Chain A
Amino acid sequence: MATAPVNRNAGRNRWFAQVGWRHLVGVLGVVFSLFPILFVFSAALNPLGTLSSTELVPTDGVSFGNFGELFERTAFERWFLNSLLIAGLASFISVFLSALAAYAFSRMRFRGRRVGLLSLLLIQMFPQFLAIVAIFLIFGTITELWPEIGFNTPWGLMLLYLGGALGVNTWLMKGFFDTLPRELDESATMDGATHAQVFFRIMLPLVAPILAVTGLLAFISTINEFLMANVFLTDSESKTLAVGMYGMLQGNERNNNFGIFAAATLLTAIPTVLVFQALQRYIVSGLTAGAVKG
């Protein structure tokens, strides 16, 4: 055994101990992350479009037939627009509402503040859909009185989602607000700014990262919400993506519809990925800075 290879081996070993294993972990993680997504891609491009014919890598050729069929056979574009409308508006409004509340909790001192914060946390532990029977009965009355915001309307479902606007988001935001130095808004107040001006002109721009994060979380969870939407929306025209696509895989159609389901999954991921890319630079800093202070 010559000395040179040993040295080279030793160098390689050191490289592996310091950097190489990190790449190995990263690559394994990426493989784990990607293989189900690759499977979905493969199913979406599979010309046969059944589950039993789908492989991890498309070998039977590539076709976009599943996408065409998706739009032909289902009301996908309606579901897509419904979901975008509901998730977009609901997350925007809920972020705004919880930002208002977080500002009050972070910057003002008033009676009931501590109780308010604690009860927010407590109420949030009761998942809204455990109360689905009660919600169903309440909305039965609402549908009778105001059909415009009753069952089968996006507005009613949106109002329902806004019931959870205050809660964990408010806590996350309050934590972030707390990290901003008080001197900022105090000096603005000294300069004659109203509390509303302090909120809109000074605080909101500074807390953009946490707004982005909570907005993204709200958007993702609203798009994925299935149970309440399923109870709420029964017309084919008013369904959201989760409800509509769940129906695609029901019963005997499960194997046959797999291709168009995969195509729909890819299209559904587009808005989230776009929002993700747009907000990415805020996300890491926003999540952790908010988390540090609870």
Chain B
Amino acid sequence: MTTSLSGPGSASQAPGREPTGSRPARKRRTARNDAPITLTGLAVKVILLGLTAGIAVWAAFPLVEGEKWAGLALLAATTAGLFYLYLTPRHIPAKYLVPGTLFLIAFQVLPVLYTASTAFTNFGDGHRGDKDDAIVAIQTASVKQVPGSAEYALSVATKGDPATGPLVFLVSDPATGTVSAGDAGGLTRLDAADVTVAPGGKVTAAEGYTILNFGQAGARSQEITDLVVPTDAGALRSSGLSRAYEGRAVRAYDQGCDCIRDSETGKTWTADEAVGSFVAADGERLAQGWKVNVGLSNFTRVITDGNISGPFFGTLIWNFAFAIGSTGGTFLLGMFIALALHSPRMRYTNLYRVLLILPYAMPSFAMLLVWRDMFNTDFGLVNNLFGLGVNWFGGEWTARFAVILVQLWLGYPYMFLVATGALQAIPRELTEATSVDGASPWQSFRAVTLPLLLVALSPLLIASFAYNFNNFNAIYLTTEGAPFPADNPTNGATDLLITYTYRLAFGGQGAEFGFAAAISLFIFTIVAVVSAVSFRRTRKQEEVYS
């Protein structure tokens, strides 16, 4: 958000700092006011704090309008905290850490915590709202026109754009003449002074609403048919574009038995708080359930459910193989080329370097798609060039080989660049000394160059491993996880855990956010443990926390 660029903040740093000869004093400072205040610093501070206040006021208006008092309090507290922090001379480290931390908390920590809490629920399609939402949804979905249902003249209106705005039903009660506006949230009565009603009860104008003409309504007829307005006795549904009826819910909630009863068949579905659904005696579940806490069942499902655990552990092993293969392969190739070019007798090294790192500068998302097409069976470049007819993404192993090859191409220029830099930092005298001692080039590489390289590059290798472990683009933009086994369309041979999770959360057959979140936590744990262990090992060689 804002940063104070300067401030009277160094009081705690060093005492007795009279201006020395090389640096003329800008102004005289008394002993009491010994923190230097520069004019630019002050100006920048005033501007940035003013900007903060401006943004806070701008953000406050919608919060007040929406009566979100908790949000407003949070906003006020944050702003006040920022003002305090940058106006006081104390807390200097915080002045530097807070700006980035605010973003980190808002857009990284909060979503992660939210995800973690989702992992213990059954959140997903059919389990989005609370129990009351589910009851309303079940009842309104079962509304049917029965003999004697009240009929209304209907006008379809919207508060926004006629083509896309949310739809509202305007109906007038034939008995009383009162006009109401209805949407999925229910009916609200409109003031008689604000509406014009034609003879026959049809609303022709209403303040604040745009009434859709016949063409506009016709274009959205499916939406109009789907709109159900809950009422006390049942629900309003449209019948055609100008009539609405108030139907009765066939399925109704009974508080006494905490169940849903179908008045036509007499079947009952009893609420099961453990799974968040209404379940009948024969085991049938209603599609609409609610979000409940399911404890650890999402986690245990990964291990105990045979349909999931088998593919899951297969994916886990391939995921490790992919991350190690891509990181190790790029490192070996990059280092090998860097070593080859690292010689005082080599000429044109700059030209080689510029050409070698070109893949790194190409947009990787586009090149992944290009590679996908180069592996095309019928007219892909790879098959054409080598006269092959391999169905690359059709076979398990060819697909895996292909994605690792693509990663090698995308990633080795980076490793080459880094290894070149690290090699230049190793004094030549070291290798020269070993060759004087009679070591072969290979021996001196093993004993001197490689360990020094590894010390320099291991943090980058760990970061690269963590990155590749979750390299979503690499799989999604090339194979999309293919090939899939015939009996399991959710888990392919090249799927990483992350693409698998993505398919669970957003895939075709019903979103399972809770389960996807549980797998996210698994991935997080695995990457964190692997990285922590490797960092511990590298830390033995150097002091990271100095």
Contact = CB atoms under 8 A, between A and B. Distances in A.
Interface in B12-67: 13-14, 17-20, 22-23, 25, 35-36, 38, 41, 59, 62-63, 66
Interface stretch (B94-102, B182-190, B218-226, B286-294): B94-102
Interface in A32-46: 32-34, 36-37, 39-40
Interface residues of B, number: 120
Contact of A268 (B114, B363, B413): B363
A93 to B, nearest CB: 9
Interface string B159-176: 000000000000000000
Given A125-B524, A128-B111, A262-B370, A189 B13 contact: yes
Contacts of B498: 127, 130
Contacts of A55: 384
Given A25-B337, A26-B352, A226 B365 contact: yes
Contact of A159 (B103, B361, B538): B103
Interface residues of A, number: 110
Contacts of B546: 178, 293
Contacts of A224: 363-365, 473
A165 B103 contact: yes
Interface string A142-179: 00111000000000000110111111101100010010
Contacts of B470: 127, 130
A185 B9 CA distance: 15
Interface in A253-287: 254-255, 258, 261-262, 264-265, 268-269, 272-273, 276, 283-285, 287
Interface stretch (A58-66, A68-76, A99-107): A99-107
With a 10 A CB-CB cut-off, give which of A19, A108, A175 has the most chain B CB atoms: A108
Contacts, number: 320
A184 interface: no
Contact of A138 (B3, B114, B501): B114
B23 A192 contact: yes
A293 B542 contact: yes
Contacts of A195: 9-10, 13, 92
B512 to A, nearest CB: 10
Interface in A124-144: 125-135, 137-138, 144
B363 A223 contact: yes
Nearest to A242: B365
A97 interface: yes
Contact of A264 (B366, B384, B385): B366
A225 to B, nearest CB: 8
A163 B104 contact: yes
Contacts of A145: 62-63, 66, 68, 71
Interface string A93-124: 00001101101100010100110110011110
Nearest to A137: B114
B4 to A, nearest CB: 8
14 contacts: A26-B337, A33-B358, A36-B374, A40-B362, A108-B93, A127-B472, A132-B505, A138-B114, A170-B100, A190-B14, A193-B10, A197-B6, A272-B361, A292-B422
Interface of A: 18-19, 21-23, 25-26, 29-30, 32-34, 36-37, 39-40, 51-52, 54-56, 97-98, 100-101, 103-104, 108, 110, 113-114, 116-117, 120-123, 125-135, 137-138, 144-146, 159-160, 162-168, 170-171, 175, 178, 186, 189-197, 199-200, 220, 223-224, 226-227, 241-242, 245-246, 249, 254-255, 258, 261-262, 264-265, 268-269, 272-273, 276, 283-285, 287-289, 291-294
